[in-house]
Chain A
Amino acid sequence: MEKIISIKNLNYTYPEAKTPAINDLSLDIYKNEWLSIVGKNGSGKSTLTKLIDGLIEASSGTIAVDGQEINEDNIWDARKKIGIIFQNPDHQFVGATVEDDVAFGLENQGMPREQMIIAVDHALELVKMSEFKKRDPQSLSGGQKQRVAIAGVLATRPQIIIMDESTSMLDPDGRKTVLNLVEQLREQQDLTIISITHDIEETELSQRIVVLNDGQIVKDGKPEEIYDLGPELTNYGLEEPFSSKLMSTLRESVKLPEGYLSGRELKEQLWKLHSNM
């Protein structure tokens, strides 16, 4: 697998802070992978995204994006390859209408107007927001706003999309729509997704989960391996996944196989047990 982001011995301490926000962190992220970074508040997740995009400068260590180590000179090139969707849709809107906002990134690249019109229409179509083109962002719902934010990122054709807790302010429906949309795009367009969250249930679509605590990686593995940690997850300020909690309650009276089972697997197990009775 090809590496798209390679982080080596990264350190960052906020000015006036005593403890480092990122502490000697090394991580490789591969092309077309959906990576979730989880951890409690203050574990350094958001700092990591800002470091990757060069929005803040690391104290030491290196970050390479698409094979190129980022420094002051090439940061704008690296930024073109990365699109970030932030947490609060209200605070990331620049444009006065939906189409203006989607065009903002393209305007920054100096794209000619004719191409921009096509790109904006295409991006809005991908997120199914074409009919809202002329609308004022304030008149949209949270989920729709976040879809427009995604369109703004997609229009610039990045290779990496970072979602920085971008579904945390949406209702369950809006969250599902946004996540499924991103997953679809990842499959179609060879994108790499880095999703940052403190909600373990939101990682169900990811292929790999990294658990961050105090600016260090404490666990790195497939979702099953991470979910299997069960109660240990609470040490890192995370909640146990629902089915893992359910299983530990069931195990008191029912004999279940070892290890983590997803919702569907658990259901099948229970059916099996039921028919054996």
Chain B
Amino acid sequence: MDKIILGRYLPGDSLIYHLDPRGKFLLTFYFVGIVFFANNVASYALLLAFVLFAVYLSKINFGFFIKGLKPVFWLILFTVILQLLFTPSNNPIWHWGIFTLSKEGMVISAYIFMRFILIIFISTLLTLTTTPIEISDSIESILKPLKRINFPVTQVALMLSIALRFVPLLVDETTKIMDAQRARGVDFGEGGLIKRIKSFVPILIPLFVSSFSIAYDLAIAMESRGYKDGEGRSKYRVLSWARRDNLTIIFMIGLTIILLFLRSY
């Protein structure tokens, strides 16, 4: 469980940490979008330079980003090899049955590899520098326009922040239940597929039951503290948009323009 870097927050203090989470959240999505515009060596080099610059600004140890690649390593390798061997070409270097190795194939697989790296690095950067609650706050404020069509934005945001807040508690609970079941002789991760799936029942059912009891306790506690239905509430936490956020956006626009230029170049 602790090996997964993507989606984890790392306390720190640098410019990237102080950016408004809404801006960071949207710009990350925006960046993932423009990665697909890159189509030659120069444009990929530009995007890579940008990502490495952002990583440098965050002052986070580069090792974390490499670790972030680990869980998807096999997926990247699989896709890259597939592209390498199955790209049709008119003048292949090597040909055997359905497999073709060619210069075009190599270029395309290199691009695919770069896309993976860029997307994983930038999303790891977002989650490492933004607390879950900041992300849920950003989602709430981004969804706010939906209020007009009677979408329950505040309730969804509360649900999201409670869900985030209970993730570590439920992970603890799961380990506790697993240990308790192990002590009673349940063997996890042994035997065939069916047997393995069956061995998870003694975890899932107690976990569901305890989730119900936590939900009940929490609902009672919330009601006793005066929570009605999300209407008429004030907000303690507010996000503030600063000059550095505007600058980041201008920087991103600049990057897009250069990218479009390099693309058609």
Residues on A close to B: CB < 8 A? 50, 53, 55, 76, 79-80, 82-84, 86, 88, 90-97, 99-100, 103-113, 116-117, 120, 137-138, 152-153, 156
Q: Is the CB of A50 within 8 A of B226?
A: no
- Give the contacts of B211-245 with A (CB-CB under 8 A): 213-214, 217-218, 220-228, 232-238
Count of chain B residues with Cβ under 8 Å from any Cβ of A?
A: 29
Q: Is the CB of B220 within 8 A of A50?
A: yes
The A/B interface has a contact count, at CB < 8 Å, of: 90
Q: Is the CB of A110 within 8 A of B224?
A: no
Q: Is the CB of B165 within 8 A of A91?
A: no
Residues of B within 8 A of A100 (CB): 133, 236-237
A-B contact pairs, 6 of them (CB 8 A): A82-B224, A91-B213, A94-B165, A96-B132, A117-B236, A152-B225
Residues on B close to A: CB < 8 A? 131-133, 161-162, 164-165, 168-169, 213-214, 217-218, 220-228, 232-238
Residue of B nearest to A102 (CB): B236
Query: What 8 A-B pairs are tightest by C-beta distance, nearest first?
Result: A103-B236, A91-B217, A92-B221, A96-B133, A108-B226, A105-B225, A84-B224, A138-B168
Name the contact of B234 in the complex, choosing from A80, A116, A137, A156 (C-beta under 8 A): A116
The majority secondary structure among interface residues of chain B is helix
Q: Is the CB of B236 within 8 A of A116?
A: yes
Residue of A nearest to B167 (CB): A138
The majority secondary structure among interface residues of chain A is helix
Q: How far is the CB of A40 from chain B (nearest CB, A)?
A: 21
Q: How far is the CB of A77 from chain B (nearest CB, A)?
A: 10
Determine the distance from Cα of A55 to Cα of B224 in the docked complex, in whole angstroms. 7
Determine the distance from Cα of A271 to Cα of B169 in the docked complex, in whole angstroms. 52
Residues of A within 8 A of B228 (CB): 76, 108
Determine the distance from Cα of A122 to Cα of B253 in the docked complex, in whole angstroms. 45
Residues of B within 8 A of A88 (CB): 217
Q: Is the CB of B236 within 8 A of A113?
A: yes
Q: Is the CB of A94 within 8 A of B222?
A: yes
Residues of A within 8 A of B165 (CB): 93-96, 137
Residue of B nearest to A49 (CB): B224
Q: How far is the CB of B192 from chain A (nearest CB, A)?
A: 37
Residue of A nearest to B210 (CB): A91
Residues of A within 8 A of B168 (CB): 138
Q: Is the CB of A106 within 8 A of B236?
A: yes
Residues of A within 8 A of B237 (CB): 100, 103
Q: How far is the CB of A103 from chain B (nearest CB, A)?
A: 4
Residue of A nearest to B227 (CB): A108
Given contacts A108-B233, A113-B235, contact A80 B217 (CB under 8 A): no
Residue of A nearest to B132 (CB): A96
Q: Is the CB of A99 within 8 A of B225?
A: no
Q: How far is the CB of A73 from chain B (nearest CB, A)?
A: 14
Q: Is the CB of B236 within 8 A of A86?
A: no
Residues of A within 8 A of B164 (CB): 96
